[in-house]
Amino acid sequence: MSLNGCQHLQNYKATTGTETFKIIYSYFITCSTADARRKKAQICKCVKCDVVRPRLHACLSCIYFGCYDLKHIHEHSLEKKHQLAIDVSYGSVYCFMCEDYVYDLELEELSKTQCQKNTLFSGLKQRFFPWEPTEEELILLRCNPKRRRVTEASHIGLRGLINLGNTCFMNCILQSLTHTPILRDYFMADKHACLKNDESEQCLVCEMARLYQEFYSGSRTPFIPYKLLHLVWTNARHLAGYEQQDAHEFLIAALDVLHRHCKEMNGVSGSNPHHCNCIIDRIFTGGLQSDVTCKRCNNVSTTIDPIWDISLDLGPGPIHSSQVLSSIAAAAVNNTSTSQTTASTEFTHSPAPGFTNSPGNYEPTSLVECLKRFTKTEHLGNSAKIICSKCHSYQESTKQLTMKKLPIVACFHLKRFEHSTGYHKKISTFVSFPEELDMTPFMSSSRNNINGHSGPILHSASCDNKYSLFAVVNHYGTIESGHYTCYIRSLKEQWYRCEDHLIKRATAGEVLNSEGYLLFYHKQVLEYE
């Protein structure tokens, strides 16, 4: 194989360009999805033999397929005066005039780029090439010749954030995200590969990656997240402006924007177009199962919705109006012809207000009590009858919400802001929450035990459903005006209180005695998929 290329290939690129090469490479060489492989099997046959043979080549002038062993591609070259072909198995370019495979640096770079794009869009692991430092990285290496060691006295990862004008809500969410262990590891491993070529089209994921780099750079000077704020305003215009915003609303908006940016690069699964494999969905998305049971025939209609958080009512129930209950029941039963449907991740991941279950007339005083009320069976009432798919008539029913799939990071939203007709108020009821949480009793497989039906009680034997607390967001003040702070668990299991640019040590007791508005839990054991 010639390492210097040939004049015939140079002439071809000058007159024809590289578009045909990129098309063949994309569709027939780096086909990594099942659908692409099926198309290759159907199309990639020798035109003369009409069979799939080894060493099949495609003409770079007209994409004619011919086998190399029986010289059919050579015959085509002589007949059409086409001088170049590409091996569809390995991507090597063959010159019929030189009677040899030729190497070209430009085509090699195009093939590497195409391989990276196809592995990203297919959802497969990225093929890694030897690392070559950029000029910026060379400067960083020269300025930091020593390896940084993390000790008990290290403050790496701790950095305050400047309040840009009522942006304490954003600062608390950014602190929580930057100290989410598995998300931190993703960005610190440089897994994000941006495909945006236009510098004017800024990428929010790139800015998040920069935030992690700033936090773990060792600098203790407060960071100013003005670029990230601008990108959030651009992509979530309802949050634009310097008015005080809700931290929970900002969390959902930020996850949604990150999800959309990641989805553009990762694509969707070929077998399920509604399944997203981006890092946001893999970490934060859980499955909420809703079972609506007909009281006449006990027929159960099940829907599963993707969620990014669980919103829990704190006030005395019941909260649902008949109209809301009716709409939930209709969504669960009337819109599905089968016993189970799976909601698309294209929908808003956070449950709608109707998904906050709250039967009973007591105020919960702990997170576990909130979850018990959330997953308790609820009678929908005579005014919220559903059309039973088995009875084929309107019937009374019960509804129960349980967790079908647990996320890696579970976020619980304690609904402290109550908006009713004519007044708005903040619920300051103390709700205790544990450092370790077992979600086994609230799984769909455990719902009979939750309802008190017969059967063995499931104890917390499985570590797969256990979580550890790592961040707490608190709100101080009234519903009209207030201030957000947060606690984060950093390296060495040490807690810190973050209030904009101020960071100070805290104890576990201080964290557990705080009011709590958003609670972030991380799975203790991760499953391989």
Which residues are known to be catalytic?
Answer: 168, 483
Task: Spell out the residues 6+ positions from residue 292 whose beta carbon is closer than 8 angstroms to its own.
Answer: 300, 301, 302, 329, 332, 333, 380, 386, 397, 398, 399
User: How far is Cα 341 from Cα 304, in angstroms, rounded to an integer?
Assistant: 6
N-to-C CA span, the chain:
42
Per-residue 3-state assignment (H helix, E strand, C coil) for 24-65: HHHHHHCCCCHHHHHHHHHHCCCCCCCCCCCCEEEECCCCCE
User: How far is Cα 483 from Cα 474, in angstroms, rounded to an integer?
Assistant: 8
Q: Which helix (H) or strand (E) holds 509?
A: helix 508-512
Q: Is the CB of residue 370 less than 8 Å from the CB of residue 414?
A: yes
* Tokens 């970490």, located at residue: 283
Q: Is the CB of residue 413 less than 8 Å from the CB of residue 312?
A: yes
Amino acid (1-letter code) at residue 306: P
* Tokens 């559903």, located at residue: 386
Measured CA to CA in angstroms, residue 517 lies from 208, 415, 471, 479, 511 at distances of 24, 7, 11, 13, 12
Q: Is the CB of residue 56 less than 8 Å from the CB of residue 66?
A: yes
User: How far is Cα 56 from Cα 46, in angstroms, rounded to an integer?
Assistant: 7
